[in-house]
């Protein structure tokens, strides 16, 4: 420290402060982390008098301040304690006197200041005394609010503080003023000026402390024994109330009101929403009803009351999209194109309600996605399988805890448009219990005459579902209630033939699984003969779901070999399937080589496709006894009784020598429940064969319902049954004439390969199946002989008789013929 002739001049290191001020005659702790600060402290600590200058920065964000970045009035202080940590210095500095910085220079990575003392001008007199007394008065008031002043003896305190500026600086430090106000106190060059600033700050701080005390008291009375977080929330509420600011609940209400003003909703809905907003504004946010009303309002604002997506009515593009995603399915694709054509001519036309019925894996759900893509509509789906609570569809009433809107309204909210495509999967697996009948709720949802103002229990406002394109899926229609079925347009998706599966695998599955496995085209080549072997020896299904899994496993096996840097085959030959997929799961089905008297081949439908069913009959010594085995259902048992009685009633004409002998009928695969009327002609043929001791013609399968008057009635599942016969090696099938129209569903290759014969009566069936039993001219009424067999691919015409009634209303529907559990 140097001293000139007139006044002292200090040349000391500068300790720059970011957001704090050190007052003269006051000690305070500081932490130094910047290099310039550490250099200043170390230089001071190593000096003889340990003094330095603390100057506050004008801009706290500057790391390396220069002279212009520091306030001119600063404090000369002495380092009383210095402690080192890993990256910082902890220091206590006591202020000695007020100084004015004349210049600042850099010297060895630290700031060196040239400063001169700048004492405050003392102004004794009446004004100074009045200011001092006012400060003392405020100190006494502060004692009530500040715990650190509560035990202070003010008179003793003032007696010991001879210097008024010591009082100013001490109170400035105790009040914890922000650094800008503290710097103004330090900048004050006159005592009265400093006292006035202090009084201003004290009054402001006093009002703040008083308000905080009131807020704390108000919050404490309301909070009771609540935890600290609740106390803080109450204090915030009280602060907002005092400041006149909007409270949280009112903010939420205002946000909802602004959203309502911008929302596109019908007038009736807007009126209800405004009424609910009025209620919400008067309910405390802590009330449970507040949450219920707010959730309902948010649902109202999020629903697409008017918003719609524009339908893409380009028929060529729609056809291309459907063809790209699915093979064949011509009838369904045509139906979608019809709807597009209608919408083109009449944009306000009601959307149809379609029901896709077919075995698993035939593409019902994915077809819905393709339809949505072709139309340019949003797609949403959910499953109805196992649904037992009606409220899942209609929504829960808001009076219940945890109430939610129904799945229909939730799907509409997710879709974001008033005309999406909603797919309701597994409609045949709906449940029912004490909570209601979901199928009955669907009656309104799926009825265009009612669903234009569907009311969800939670929403409790009419919502228009008439623009929604509903598509439902089912494996069978037997479990779908009649009234619900009447609401829907049913489109059947039959099982695929081996050729169709091959084409689907080539067009879609191979490429999809190759991409998922991350393989290049030249790394995954599967020839047609390999795919056919997978279809016939590793899968047995009506759809292609298991086929896709098997091809996916082939792709993963190749990917594993590549990852292990093993050699991969150029093409996956059929001989490699055992190594890649394991042993074959299914043996090729073959027709029985030997058909002794009493054995006939029938055809059945299952949810997974068609099946070949053998009916075996033998005579028993007990007269008139009928024994049925093979887990037959009631309908199938009645068919057996009707068949036996018809055959015995024509015993003479059928040359039956032992009509009173007992009869045992057995259907193999006894562990599988079986039912349905379509085995009637098979049972009649087996019974006639065993009674007459004549075998049934080899390679012939049959299906059809019979009556006691000898009629053969149409049944369902014809395509699946003929495909099953073909798969087994049977090339001749007897069908009811009423099923002639179903032959159009067969692929051209199957129609050319199979010989289909049509029958009106049981006599026709027996003449085709057991030619020796009913020679020409012995049927009643007489008819032409059918000895001449038709060419392959042509339906043989049986002797015709006048029909008593057309196609039976009791014709089988898929799902009633053979149940595979």
Q: Which residues are catalytic?
A: 678, 721
How far is the CA of 747 from the CAs of 208, 328, 607, in angstroms?
89, 10, 20
User: Residue 251 corresponds to which tokens in the numbers above?
Assistant: 């903010």
3-state secondary structure of 2: strand
User: Residue 751 corresponds to which tokens in the numbers above?
Assistant: 């129609």
- Residue holding tokens 């003269």? 24
How far is the CA of 221 from the CAs of 145, 218, 231, 390, 492, in angstroms?
19, 5, 10, 47, 71
DSSP letter for 756, please.
Answer: E
- In angstroms, the CA 690 to CA 709 distance is 21
Q: What is the largest CA-CA distance in the chain?
A: 155
**CB count, 10 Å around CB of 484?**
21
Q: Which helix (H) or strand (E) holds 577?
A: helix 577-581
Q: 687-715 in b/e burial notation, b at 16+ Cβ within 10 A?
A: bbbbbbebbbbebbbbbbbbbeebbbbbb
**DSSP letters for 643-690:** HHHHHHHTTTTTT-S-TTEEEEEE-S-TTS-B--GGGHHHHHHHHHHH
**CB count, 10 Å around CB of 119?**
11
Partner residues linked to 648 by β-bridges: none
User: Residue 149 corresponds to which tokens in the numbers above?
Assistant: 């002043």
- Judge contact between 718 and 710, C-beta under 8 A: no
User: Residue 637 corresponds to which tokens in the numbers above?
Assistant: 């048992």
Q: Could you tell me which residues come within 8 angstroms of residue 531 by beta carbon, excluding any fewer than 6 positions away?
A: 502, 505, 506, 510, 551
Partner residues linked to 8 by β-bridges: 3
- In angstroms, the CA 637 to CA 595 distance is 23
- In angstroms, the CA 412 to CA 380 distance is 8
How far is the CA of 550 from the CAs of 225, 436, 524, 568, in angstroms?
65, 42, 14, 18
DSSP letter for 506, please.
Answer: I
- Judge contact between 756 and 795, C-beta under 8 A: yes
Partner residues linked to 223 by β-bridges: none
User: Residue 635 corresponds to which tokens in the numbers above?
Assistant: 């309908």
- In angstroms, the CA 581 to CA 509 distance is 17
How far is the CA of 273 from the CAs of 284, 353, 406, 476, in angstroms?
18, 31, 19, 43
3-state secondary structure of 628: strand
User: Over the Cα atoms of the chain, what is R_g?
Assistant: 47
Say how far residue 699 (Cα) sits from the centre of its chain.
51
């Amino acid at each position: 420290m140097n001293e000139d002739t007139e006044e002292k001049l200090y040349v000391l290191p500068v300790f720059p402060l970011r957001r704090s001020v050190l007052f003269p005659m006051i000690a305070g702790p500081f932490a130094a982390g910047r290099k310039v600060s550490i250099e200043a402290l170390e230089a001071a600590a190593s000096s003889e008098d340990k003094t330095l200058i603390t100057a506050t920065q004008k801009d706290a964000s500057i790391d390396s301040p220069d002279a212009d970045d520091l306030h001119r009035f600063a404090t000369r202080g002495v380092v009383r304690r210095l402690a080192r940590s890993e990256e910082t210095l902890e220091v206590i500095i006591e202020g000695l006197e007020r100084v004015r910085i004349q210049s600042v220079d850099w010297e060895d990575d630290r700031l060196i200041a040239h400063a001169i003392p700048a004492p405050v001008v003392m102004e004794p007199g009446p004004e100074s005394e009045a200011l001092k007394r006012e400060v003392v008065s405020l100190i006494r008031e502060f004692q009530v609010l500040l715990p650190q002043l509560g035990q202070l003896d003010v008179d003793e305190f003032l007696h010991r503080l001879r210097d008024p500026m010591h009082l100013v600086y001490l109170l400035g430090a105790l009040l914890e003023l922000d650094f800008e106000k503290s710097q103004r106190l330090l900048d004050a060059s006159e005592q009265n000026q400093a006292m006035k600033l202090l009084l201003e700050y004290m009054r402001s701080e006093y009002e703040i402390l008083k308000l905080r005390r009131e807020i704390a008291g108000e919050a404490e009375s309301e909070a009771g024994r609540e935890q600290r977080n609740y106390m803080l929330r109450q204090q915030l509420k009280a602060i907002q109330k005092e400041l006149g600011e909007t409270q949280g609940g009112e903010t939420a209400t205002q946000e909802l009101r602004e959203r309502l003003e911008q929302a596109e909703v019908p007038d009736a809905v807007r009126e209800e929403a405004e009424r609910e907003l009025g209620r919400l504004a008067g309910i405390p946010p802590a009330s449970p009803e507040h949450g219920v009303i707010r959730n309902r309002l948010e649902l109202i604002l999020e629903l697409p009351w008017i918003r719609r997506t524009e339908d893409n009515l380009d028929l060529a593009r729609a056809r291309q999209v459907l063809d790209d995603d699915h093979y064949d399915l011509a009838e369904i694709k045509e139906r979608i194109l019809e709807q597009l054509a209608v919408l083109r001519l009449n944009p306000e036309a009601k959307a149809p309600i379609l029901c896709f019925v077919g075995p698993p894996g035939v593409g019902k759900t994915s077809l819905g996605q393709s339809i949505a893509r072709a139309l340019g509509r949003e797609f949403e789906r959910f499953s109805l399988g196992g649904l037992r609570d009606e409220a899942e569809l209609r929504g829960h009433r808001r009076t219940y805890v945890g109430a939610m809107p129904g799945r229909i309204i939730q799907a509409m909210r997710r879709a974001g448009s008033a005309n999406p495509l909603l797919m309701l999967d597994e409609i045949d697996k709906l449940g029912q219990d004490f909570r209601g009948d979901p199928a009955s709720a669907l009656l309104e949802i799926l009825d265009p005459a009612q669903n234009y103002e569907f009311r969800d229990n939670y929403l409790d406002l009419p919502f228009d579902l008439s623009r929604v394109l509903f598509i439902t899926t089912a494996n069978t229609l037997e479990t779908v209630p009649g009234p619900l079925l009447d609401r829907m347009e049913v489109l059947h998706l039959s099982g695929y033939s081996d050729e169709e599966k091959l084409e689907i695998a080539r067009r879609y599955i191979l490429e999809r699984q190759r991409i998922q496995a991350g393989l290049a085209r030249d790394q995954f080549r599967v020839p047609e003969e390999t795919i056919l072997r997978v279809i016939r020896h590793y899968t047995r299904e009506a759809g292609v779901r298991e086929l896709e899994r098997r091809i996916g496993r082939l792709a993963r096996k190749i990917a594993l070999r590549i990852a292990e840097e093993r050699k991969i085959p150029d093409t996956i030959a059929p001989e490699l399937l055992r190594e890649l997929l394991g042993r074959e799961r299914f043996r090729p089905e073959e027709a029985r080589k030997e058909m002794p008297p009493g054995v006939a081949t029938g055809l059945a439908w299952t949810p997974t496709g068609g099946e070949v069913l053998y009916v075996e009959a033998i005579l028993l010594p007990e007269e008139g006894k009928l024994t049925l085995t093979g887990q037959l259902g009631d309908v199938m048992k009645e068919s057996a009784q009707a068949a036996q009685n018809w055959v015995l009633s024509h015993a003479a004409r059928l040359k039956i020598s032992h009509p009173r002998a007992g009869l045992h009928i057995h259907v193999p695969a006894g562990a599988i429940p079986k039912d349905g009327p379509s085995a009637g002609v098979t049972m009649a043929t087996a019974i006639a064969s065993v009674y007459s001791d004549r075998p049934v013609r080899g390679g012939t399968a049959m299906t059809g319902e019979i009556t006691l008057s000898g009629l053969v009635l149409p049944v369902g599942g014809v395509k699946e049954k003929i495909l099953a016969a073909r798969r087994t090696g049977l090339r001749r099938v007897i069908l009811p004439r009423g099923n002639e129209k179903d032959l159009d569903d067969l692929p051209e290759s199957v129609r050319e390969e199979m010989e289909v014969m049509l029958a009106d009566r049981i006599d026709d069936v027996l003449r085709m199946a057991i030619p020796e039993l009913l020679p020409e001219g012995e049927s009643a009424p007489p008819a032409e002989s059918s000895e001449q067999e038709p060419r392959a691919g042509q339906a043989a015409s049986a002797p015709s008789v006048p029909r008593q009634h057309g196609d039976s209303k009791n014709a089988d529907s898929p799902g009633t013929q053979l149940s595979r559990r």
